[in-house]
Amino acid sequence: MTGPFRTEIGGRIDRTRRIDFRFDGRLYSGHPGDNLASALLSHGVHLLGRSFKYHRPRGVLGAGSEEPNALVRVGSYESRATPNLRATQVEIHDLLVAESQNRYPSLSFDVGAINDVLSPLFPAGFYYKTFMWPAWGWRRLYEPIIRRMAGLGRAPTAPDADIYAQRYVHCDVLVVGAGPAGLAAARAAAQGGARVLLCDEQSEFGGSLLSEPDTTEAGRNRLAWRAATLATLAASDNVTLLTRSTAFGVFADNFVALVERVTDHLANPEPALPRERLWQVRARQVVLATGAIERPMVFAGNDRPGVMLAGAARTYLHRYGVRTGRRIVLATSADSAYGVAMDLHRAGLTIAAIADVRNEASGPLAAAARAAGLPLRTSTHIAATHGRLRIRGATLARNGTGAREKVACDLLLMSGGYTPTVHLYSQARGTLRFDESLGAFLPGGDTGILQVAGACRGIFATDVAIADGAEAGTVAAARTDPGGAPQPVRTISVPDSGALLAREAPCDRRAFVDFQNDVTTKDLRLAVREGFVSVEHVKRYTTAGMATDQGKTSNINALALVANERRMDMAAVGLTTFRMPYTPVTFGTLAGAARGNLFDPIRQTPIHAWAEDRGAVFEDVGMWKRARYFPAARETMAQAVARECRAVRTGAGLFDASTLGKIEVVGPDAAIFLERMYVNNFRKLAVGRARYGLMLGEDGFVLDDGVIGRLAPDRFHVTTTTGGAPRVLAMMEDYLQTEWPDLRVWLTSTTEEWAVVSIQGPRARDIIAPFVIGIDLAPQAFPHMAVAEGTILGVNLRIFRVSFTGECGFEINVPADYGSDVWHAIMQQGTVFGLTPYGTEAMHVLRAEKGYIIVGQESDGTATPDDLGLGWAIGRGKSDFVGKRSLARAAMRDPSRKQLVGLLTSNGETVLQEGAQIVTAANGNASIGHVTSAYFSTTLGRSMALAMISGGKARMGEKLLAPMLDRTHEVTVAPAMFYDPKGERLYG
Amino acid sequence: MQRFSALALARNALSGQTGWQRQWRSPDPAKRYNAIIIGGGGHGLATAFHLARDHGMRNIAVLEKSWIGGGNTGRNTTIIRSNYLFNASSSLYDHAVKLWENLSQTLNYNVMFSQRGVLMLAHNVHDEQVFKRHVHANRLNGVDNEWLTAAQAKAFCPPLRIDAGMRYPVLGAALQRRAGVARHDAVAWGYARAADALGVDIVENCAATSIVRDRQGAVEAVETTRGRIATAKIGVVAAGNTSVIMGMAGLRMPLESFPLQALVSEPVKPVLPCIVMSNTIHAYISQSDKGELVIGAGTDAYISYSQRGALHVSTHTLEAICELFPQFRRMRMLRNWGGIVDVTPDRSPIIAKTSVPGLYVNCGWGTGGFKATPGSGHLFAWTMAKDEPHPINAPFTLERFRDGFLIDEAAAAAVSH
């Protein structure tokens, strides 16, 4: 059943199909093509929301994305519920469930409306002046109440069930807005040979063509022209058309972000479809044809349900076939209102009165209205409106006299002129100028890569806007083809219009400027009185323009009233900054597919699957998944780690070191380059030998470390920490490209080229020797810190004799594709030797027993090589390396610097907490350092720790304290070397 | 100064709230001041307030090139906490937190300081080590900070996701209960009103164009867009533009300026009881009194003075927020903006005298200056009035970058493995 306010014919709805939906629990019907607002209006429902602060009843004000009042929560399941949607933008579909917001217990009876009664106590910024006593009262008493009163809708409580997609595209010309100017621009640009992307926020293209009467001033049939233009565009291969797609942000160099709403309008979307799609567009040229938004009039009681923008009523009539009322009062300060009046009059609605605040109403539209006998009163404003949940009448008053007249009505339309939608232009850093005759800020001009056309630059007449758009499209296309014909130019200039800016009508009641946030003229006056005169201060103090509509209908009125109050020009008052997004954008759309395992890439080594089969417990290290330990049946982590450590110390252990960063440094100057990047000496490093490399930042602090092997005079295999690889490569490239461009060096990240199988322990050599071809692994032939190339199991091999455990060890680098096979083969071969896979936790324990540091654990970006006991690594006689100068600074020689030491607890069972602070018995509150690593060592049969302690090297044997929350542990300072201090096992 | 109170509001309700006066005057600049603060943000206004109130200094001006509170004061996400690692930092920030606790009463202006607590999430073993180090260090310094398991973190913040299905599961969190948020604009306005009541001239739309020095090199005057103003003491508190101003006195600053973005959602009913931060996946979030989710992350990658960032920073931030709070995925970004933050090599501020007699500088707060506003103003005023630092800001010199006595909170918070 169609609503009683539906017209008999016309509109772009499909009257042959009925759609049932619910609003606040009641069942309503509409047609395909309706949005929630039009469908409810067709049933005479105007009351759709409550305002933010005073909880005043509010109806539909507009017909599009500018709507401040009619906000609803849509969705029957929490996992698909969305708050704060504009009813004017919610397309209805079967099963749609919507509810009103910010009211209790119901929309028509809301106890929050008590705020409205108390509003004399709650002017703008009242909260800055009170709620300060008692001092604890804000947090515990006032704030909780205010928070419950504030907010609009309810956030969903369940995880979102929908998916989102993202696309990146390039185009020659992006046209934003598919009204008359935008359609014309897109067609002209396409005809000029450009690849065109045309987007519009609405469900169908056409903009104002859909909202206005059939023929234009020049006699053009609007819908026929639209259809023909769209047909041309649809037939062009070089045109992409995007409806329901809002360009919400313009960034540097014509980078424009669009959000496409894909499924919200569908009752049963394909499950595979994303709900929304983010388009990130890089356009060579942009044409903004974003139209204009009508301004409300500012008068007492201008916020009652049934008070609406004139243009919106026209849209509901022509586009949706809905009469928004029966008896209408029209309040205006612009000629455009007369066109609306004539339209509604022709549609059979009663125009009870037209109140034009201006002293005269001239122009053809006003003349037509007069000729039609519409009751037109100039010099007249609205002094008051009547009604509660719906307007019942308005009191008209002659300007400057006391004459008043009460007129009954069920709809009051306002037209305060149009504000060009310059948001995106302003985001693109275009400069705006104030046009007195239009009463609006207009784009200052073309930026060379971005043009503006149509109503967005003050050209409101459809025929002129079409011509203007076509010119903009032609110019844009020509600019993308610099070799083409002489560049065309724009010829159309902006005409005058007679709109008056908002002036506050004299009244003793409240006149609303920002509807959603309940900012009144009194609030603006109060702000100015209290010294909030900068527009940004006015905005922030009163919250005008800060609601979910971001001031689309209120900003200019607020500015005009402030300008009035301050007796200044609009231009001098200026505008607040336009920020992205143009309309709110779903978090999920911006986050896209990045969730769960797609949140960040998961990096896995070639041995990952094996470790998983083996029941490894993994830890996240950067993006990598690393096996932390390999528990046997019912083993705890401690038991597993103890077993793994024992195996390495007594037999052999196998460790997946593939995550280590690897950089191939190649070129005639490679040795010189490394010598400058690292503190060590590399020029004298022989081919076939490796060296522990220590890298500092410019500040002299340890940044990274790794083993660097020389494979040839001009080729080095550099390893970095797992987490440090990208940073080290970036730093190397930075220096190479900006500081030493003369060096002939090339860097290649090879982290993922090589699988690294590290075998450590007294039996390591025995296990791998049978596989390694072409390299003599005997201790004399292949000593500690040797490197060689050969083959293993028929694949290329780079083998390092290195150790991070203190045992004899080899790091076997093979091409990543063969990593798994080599690992398997070695595991199999090693079984008889008790070869045991071990994880990062055992690796940490083993290296801590030897006092080997982990960058980022022992060091924290404030440690020098000396602090970490690594001063020996600094090459003697080196003229320079990154960080060298900083090492000479006063603070670096301060004897109280923290230095790496070992700590032994008095009770050998106690494992200190990593991060625990260390104090002296003399001063239990002053930290002198902290525990960096602490483990139970099976090898030692007791716990051990590494710590950075102020002046630590001079404190050997000293008793210190580690205070914990519940107790204090006594510790003794020891050398940071608990195992095989002479290195006999290492070199064996 | 008209006193603010519930009673005053009620009294004014009878006259339609028309009895209120300007909250601060709008004077033309005088020819000479005893001290000039360049920069009318929270820190600058607080400095003027403390100079006038604590040190009895008169004839002071704050010069603001635009409107007060319009820089980072009005652009930040208002997180206030003091759980910093190093002694110097935690004393600095805790000094501020203590002042925050009574700031509304001090200024007779409700700055809405709300100690909702901050959860800093640990997502890996390294995070856990780092946060525990913070917890222990803070405890010794008398700064509250406690370690929570993931379940305890969820109990404190019920909407938080902690399940193992996350790409980076929450392993635990450090909680500072005294941390909170405040109303940023009110801080600037409250200080302006209180300073104005003590006679401070707040001169808006007045940009410094050069700093004039006498033959001995000492500060003599400031040239401004509103004329020359003589003074022997200048405090520069110009955040992202500090390098530009200090350059006028011939000083090169160890600062880089980056855009830092933030965003808010549409307002909703209360849904998030505290502040949640994750350094590892780069996001932080709280809910304002108005109901907006207030969200931020790290700086943009490139140095810039344009108060605008790139979209990918917002998308990355919201990826992290949606991962932590998948129920917020349908919430919508209402407004996004950028500020310019001045970053030092060690990510700690500079509150110090300079080599130019009469020139003082307070800068380098990076992404976290708002939280320090009251303390920063108090300490900088002390430094300017006595020509020597207060013990709390004594380590925060300009010379530390030359000498290496860095206070590197960033390095301490998260580095490589």
Is the CB of A130 less than 8 angstroms away from the CB of B326?
no
State how far the Cα of A798 lies from the Cα of A792, in Å rounded to an integer.
9
Mutation site for A-interface testing, chosen from B2, B9, B17 by largest number of A Cβ within 10 Å: B17
Which string of DSSP letters, residue by residue, matches B182-213? --HHHHHHHHHHHHHHTT-EEE-S--EEEEEE
Identify the CATH assignment for A660-750 out of 3.40.30.10, 3.40.1390.10, 2.40.110.10, 3.30.70.1400.
3.30.70.1400
Q: How far is CA A622 from CA A600, B163, B166, in A?
A: 10, 19, 14
Contact present, A649 and A633 (Cβ < 8 Å) = no
What is the spatial distance between Cα B413 and Cα B85, in angstroms, rounded to a whole number?
A: 8
Residue A300 DSSP class: B
The amino acid at B415: V
Bridge-based pairing state of the strands A71-74 and A96-100 = antiparallel
For residue A933, which of A944, A942, A941 has the smallest C-alpha distance? A944
Nearest CA in chain A to B75: A540
A338: which 2 tokens? 């007369």
Our CA angle for A578, B183, A518, nearest 5°, is 60
- Homologous superfamily (CATH) for A894-980: Aminomethyltransferase beta-barrel domains (2.40.30.110)
> Looking at the partner chain, which of A82, A548, A600 has a beta carbon nearest the beta carbon of B330?
A82
Tokens found for residue B112:
């809405």
In the predicted model, is pLDDT for residue B415 greater than 50? no
Chain A hits for B70, Cβ within 8 Å: 534, 536
Statement: residue B411 has pLDDT above 80 = no
Give me the residue from B114, B267, B337 closest to A152, CB to CB: B267
- State how far the Cα of A600 lies from the Cα of A587, in Å rounded to an integer: 17
pLDDT at A580: 95
Type of residue found at B327: Q
Cβ-contact A496, A434 below 8 angstroms: no
Model ipTM? 0.97
Question: Rounded to an integer, what distance in angstroms lies between the CA atom of residue A407 and that of residue A386?
Answer: 10
Question: 3-state class of B411 per DSSP?
Answer: helix
Domain A601-659+755-838 CATH assignment equals 3.30.420.40: no
Per the listing, tokens 């109130």 go with B53
Confidence bin at B417 (pLDDT 50/70/90): very low
From chain A, the residues in CB contact with B136 under 8 A are 913, 915-917, 930, 963-964
Q: Which two tokens stand for residue B239?
A: 């955040």
Judge whether B137 and B85 are in contact, CB under 8 Å.
Answer: yes
Strand, coil or helix: A514: strand
A590, A604, A928, A961, best to mutate vs chain B, most B CBs in 10 Å: A590
In tens, the pLDDT along B244-289 reads: 999 999 999 999 999 999 999 999 999 999 999 999 999 999 999 9
Residue A1: its pLDDT value, please? 56
Nearest to B337 among A160, A540, A579 (CB): A579
Q: Please check whether residue A31 is in contact with residue A2, taking contact to mean a CB–CB distance below 8 angstroms.
A: yes
Residues of A in contact with B180 (CB under 8 A): 139
Distance from CA of B214 to the nearest CA of A (A): 32
| Chain A: closest CA distance from residue B264 (Å) | 10
> Which CATH fold topology does B6-17+27-79+85-95+97-107+184-254+347-413 show?
FAD/NAD(P)-binding domain (3.50.50)
Q: Are A195 and A216 in contact (CB under 8 A)?
A: no
Q: Coil, strand or helix: which one is B61?
A: strand
Q: Same topology for domains A297-415 and A512-573, yes or no? A: no
CB within 8 Å: A120 and B17: yes
Q: Hey, what are B350's tokens? A: 């500079």
Task: Quote the CA–CA distance of B184 and B207 in Å, as a whole number.
Answer: 23
Beta-bridged to residue A543, according to DSSP, are none
- Nearest Cβ partner of A596 from B108, B165, B412? B165
- Cis peptide, bond prior to residue A581, ω within 30 of zero: yes
Question: B416: which chain A residues are within 8 Å (Cβ-Cβ)?
Answer: 703-704, 721, 723-724, 727, 855-856
Q: What is the pLDDT of residue A498?
A: 58
Q: Domain ranges for chain A, please list them.
A: 19-130, 164-292+420-479, 297-415, 512-573, 601-659+755-838, 660-750, 894-980
What is the rounded CA–CA span in Å between residue A129 and residue B351? 32
Fold for A512-573, please state it.
Answer: Arc Repressor Mutant, subunit A (1.10.10)
Backbone dihedral angles phi then psi of residue A224, each to the nearest 5 degrees: -65, -40
Q: How far apart are CA B306 and CA B339, in angstroms?
A: 8
Give the residue from A471, A428, A70, A73 showing the smallest Cα distance to A248. Answer: A428
Give me A245's structure tokens.
């797609």
Q: What is d(CA B46, CA B373) in angstroms, rounded to the nearest whole number?
A: 7
- Count of A-B CB contacts under 8 Å: 343
Strand partners, A746: A666
For residues B345 and B362, what is the distance between their CA atoms, to the nearest angstrom?
A: 15
Q: How far apart are CA A796 and CA B326, in angstroms?
A: 47
Q: What is the pLDDT of residue A988?
A: 72
Tens digits of residue pLDDT in A740-782: 999 999 999 999 999 999 999 999 999 999 999 999 999 999 9
Of B13, B114, B323, the CB nearest to A595: B323
pLDDT digits (tens, 9 = 90+) for B2-38: 999 999 999 999 998 999 999 999 999 999 999 999 9
Which residues lie closer than 8 Å to A141 by C-beta, 6 or more apart? none
- CATH fold of the domain at A19-130: Ubiquitin-like (UB roll) (3.10.20)
- Measure the CA–CA gap between B182 and B185, rounded to whole angstroms: 9
Q: How far is A99 from chain B (nearest CA, A)?
A: 15
Instruction: Provide, as residue numbers in chain B, all residues whose Cβ is less than 8 Å from the Cβ of A527.
Output: none
Residue A402: its pLDDT value, please?
A: 81
Residues in chain B: 417
- Tell me if A930 and B137 make a contact (CB, 8 A cut-off): yes
CB burial of residue B404 (10 Å; 0-12, 13-18, 19+): buried
Query: Testing the interface with A: which of B67, B100, B330, B405 to mutate, by most A Cβ within 10 A?
Result: B330
Residues in chain A, pLDDT under 50: none
Q: Domain coordinates of chain B in residue numbers?
A: 6-17+27-79+85-95+97-107+184-254+347-413, 114-181+256-343
C-beta of residue A55 within 8 angstroms of C-beta of residue A71: no
Instruction: Tell me which H or E stretch contains B342.
Output: strand B332-343
Instruction: Identify the pLDDT of residue A46.
Output: 97
Contact list in A for residue B120 (CB cut-off 8 A) is none
CATH of A297-415, one of 3.40.50.12780, 3.30.300.180, 3.40.630.30, 3.50.50.60: 3.50.50.60
Q: Do A150 and B139 touch (CB under 8 A)?
A: no
Nearest CA in chain A to B314: A590
**pLDDT at A436 (0 to 100):** 83
- CATH for B114-181+256-343, among 3.40.50.2000, 3.30.9.10, 3.40.430.10, 1.10.1370.10? 3.30.9.10
CB contact under 8 Å between A891 and B403, yes or no, is yes
pTM comes to 0.96
The residue type of B229 is I
pLDDT at A496: 66
Taking an 8 Å cut-off on Cβ atoms, the answer to whether B330 and A581 are in contact is no
Q: What is the pLDDT of residue B88?
A: 96
- Burial A901-918, CB ≥16 within 10 A → b, else e: bbbbbeeeebbbbbbbbb
What CATH number should be reported for the domain whose range is A164-292+420-479?
3.50.50.60
User: Please, what sign has the CA dihedral across residues A151, A156, A162, A164?
Assistant: positive
Distance between CA atoms of residues B233 and A354, nearest Å: 64
